[in-house]
Chain A
Amino acid sequence: MLIFIGEDYITMGMSPEEMQERMGRWAAWSEKMDANGIKHRGDALLAPVTRISGVERTRTDLAAAEVKELVGGYYTITVENLEKAIEVAQDYPDYDLGGYVEVREVMVFE
């Protein structure tokens, strides 16, 4: 699983032109994974976070601007090993915006 973490696009104040350009990069990456037949699914997550925590099940609503490191989405892919997954993650488009990828192996029960 590739998990994307970074600041929310809205709080970054991107211009429409920049958004279109960035979307193109994401689409290219997605297409590349599809062409290689490695991608299962992915979701983009909306920014607002509702956190439930503690034994009291305390609810905290966080706006995008309050969270610098926000999980923005994920992809699950099937590749031979971790190194291959890291290779796929090289094409993640938002490194230049300070975003990063966490590569996590999904446990498989035999």
Chain B
Amino acid sequence: MIDHLFRHQYGKMVSILTRIFGLAHLQLIEDAVQDTFVMAMKTWREGVPENPEAWLTKAAKNRVLDLFRKINADQEREGKWVSGPATIALNELFLDSEIVDSQLRMIFAACNPALKPQDQIAFALKTISGFSAQEIASALLLKEETVKKRLVRARKVIASENIVFEIPTGPSLPERLHRVMEVIYLIFNEGFHSNRQEALIREELCGEALRLCKLLLTNEHTATGDAQALFALFCFHSARLRSKVNEQGQVLSLKEQDRSLWYAPLISVGYHALQKAVQSPFGIYHFEAAIAAEHVMAESYEDTNWKQILRHYEQLDILHPSTFNKLNLATVHLQLNDFEAARSLLEAIEPESLEQRAYLYHGLWAEYFLRMHLKKEGLAAMEEALAKVRNKAEREFLERKKDKLEQL
């Protein structure tokens, strides 16, 4: 059977049923879908049906009738009847194109500005991606209780704000879409940059972000140049996911990664998306994707076109100046042996603004001194970096650099 079939079907079924019954009944819908999966799980023990998706879809349709009865019975007591959904042609909502449409509506509901940003991510992973609270907790390094609270809060807001289950249109679309992409980007980064040693969780989060982004590309209103660029960026990054950590769980820098492990088919899908993306005005994802493309294009680390990468970072910094970007610029200047430029950028950075990632700043100073053969200064900077780093794998990475400094 297809990997993650249940998880993906869960998201689809919850989205379709929500489209029929509305967000107000979300809890009931999620419970009903859960029941369907327990049924499938028991029924399929003796053998998976030839078309498991069709089986589940049929089960979901049967659920619609159950839910009608249940919701109407509940509302009859309050003297209200659901009449709208009765007029919907049920079969049409189960067409592939409509399923995608329902899932897109759910993404926009999850990323509704009425919800707190951290709740948006948890809610999206639950309702669209079919993660349990426990799985979300383990993926985002949170306590299960915290995730549950966020989910409850998100549901409350959705109920109290009467959030409409739709894809926004008109002038509000760009802004709403921007937030959707931001949330998907955050989910991806949780997977890609968390440097967790459990490769599986990282791959699952990146995979989910890719899938959600791909959904955006299926609708003409959401398949913008920015969305294409974001998809390209994910493809390029994901292609090298497996080479980021070695068998011992050590985080490897780009220089150390085994490029033969990079997944070529994903890179070419990324190129295809990037080609479409460049037909629209460039946003930050365009430049990030272009930078990632330069990296995956280089045959070896030495072949990296740092000059081109520098130009992309400079463009990015004009569009979206950030301390983190300055740090990236300084890194590239170091690569190009432009020590003066690297130094002046580093001097202008206030490490506090990097918060938890301040160790990167001190680590880069250490690298700078290493390249300048200044052992004492380098070691001092490294001590600062080590004092601030929290992640075990990152710490080991810095320790290895420290060894190099000591050998100066």
Question: Which residues of A line the B interface, CB within 8 A?
Answer: 8-10, 13-20, 22-24, 26-27, 30, 42, 44, 72-73
Enumerate chain B residues within 8 angstroms of A42, measured Cβ to Cβ. Answer: 45-46
Q: Check: B77 CB closer than 8 A to any chain A CB.
A: no
Enumerate chain B residues within 8 angstroms of A30, measured Cβ to Cβ. Answer: 45-47
In-complex Cβ contact of A16 among B9, B44, B47, B134 (8 A): B9
> Could you tell me which residues of chain B, from 1 to 55, have a CB within 8 Å of some CB in chain A?
1, 4-7, 9-10, 34-35, 37-38, 40-48
Enumerate chain B residues within 8 angstroms of A26, measured Cβ to Cβ. Answer: 41, 45
B35 close to A17 (CB less than 8 A): no
**A72 nearest CB neighbor, chain B only:** B42
In-complex Cβ contact of A15 among B9, B42, B46, B135 (8 A): B135
In-complex Cβ contact of B7 among A9, A13, A20, A72 (8 A): A20
A15 close to B45 (CB less than 8 A): no
In-complex Cβ contact of B6 among A8, A16, A44, A73 (8 A): A16
Bound-state Cα–Cα, A16 to B33, Å: 10
User: Which residue, of B9, B35, B42, has the highest number of chain A Cβ atoms within 10 A?
Assistant: B42
Enumerate chain B residues within 8 angstroms of A15, measured Cβ to Cβ. Answer: 7, 130-132, 134-135
> Would you mind naming 8 contact pairs between A and B with Cβ atoms under 8 Å apart?
A10-B35, A14-B132, A15-B131, A16-B132, A17-B130, A20-B4, A20-B5, A27-B48
Question: Which residues of B line the A interface, CB within 8 A?
Answer: 1, 4-7, 9-10, 34-35, 37-38, 40-48, 130-132, 134-135
Enumerate chain B residues within 8 angstroms of A22, measured Cβ to Cβ. Answer: 41
B135 close to A23 (CB less than 8 A): no
Contact residues of B: prevailing secondary structure: helix
Distance between B370 CB and nearest chain A CB, rounded to angstroms: 44
**A8 nearest CB neighbor, chain B only:** B38
Distance between A101 CB and nearest chain B CB, rounded to angstroms: 15
Enumerate chain A residues within 8 angstroms of B132, measured Cβ to Cβ. Answer: 13-18
Enumerate chain A residues within 8 angstroms of B44, measured Cβ to Cβ. Answer: 23, 27
Bound-state Cα–Cα, A73 to B89, Å: 38
Bound-state Cα–Cα, A73 to B41, Å: 13
Knowing that A15-B134, A23-B45 touch, tell me 17 more A-B residue pairs with CB under 8 angstroms.
A8-B38, A9-B38, A13-B34, A15-B131, A15-B132, A17-B132, A19-B40, A20-B1, A20-B4, A20-B5, A23-B40, A23-B44, A30-B45, A30-B47, A42-B46, A44-B43, A72-B42
> Given A10-B35, A24-B1 in contact, is the A16-B7 Cβ separation under 8 Å?
yes
Enumerate chain A residues within 8 angstroms of B4, measured Cβ to Cβ. Answer: 17, 20
Enumerate chain A residues within 8 angstroms of B37, measured Cβ to Cβ. Answer: 16, 19
B10 close to A16 (CB less than 8 A): yes
User: Which residue, of A14, A20, A42, A73, has the highest number of chain B Cβ atoms within 10 A?
Assistant: A20
User: Which residue, of B37, B38, B131, B135, has the highest number of chain A Cβ atoms within 10 A?
Assistant: B38
| Nearest 10 Cβ contacts at the A-B interface | A15-B132, A16-B6, A44-B42, A20-B6, A26-B45, A16-B10, A23-B41, A16-B7, A16-B130, A19-B41
Bound-state Cα–Cα, A1 to B47, Å: 20
**A15 nearest CB neighbor, chain B only:** B132
Enumerate chain B residues within 8 angstroms of A10, measured Cβ to Cβ. Answer: 34-35, 38
**A9 nearest CB neighbor, chain B only:** B38
Bound-state Cα–Cα, A71 to B4, Å: 28
Enumerate chain A residues within 8 angstroms of B47, measured Cβ to Cβ. Answer: 27, 30
Enumerate chain A residues within 8 angstroms of B135, measured Cβ to Cβ. Answer: 15, 17
Distance between B103 CB and nearest chain A CB, rounded to angstroms: 15
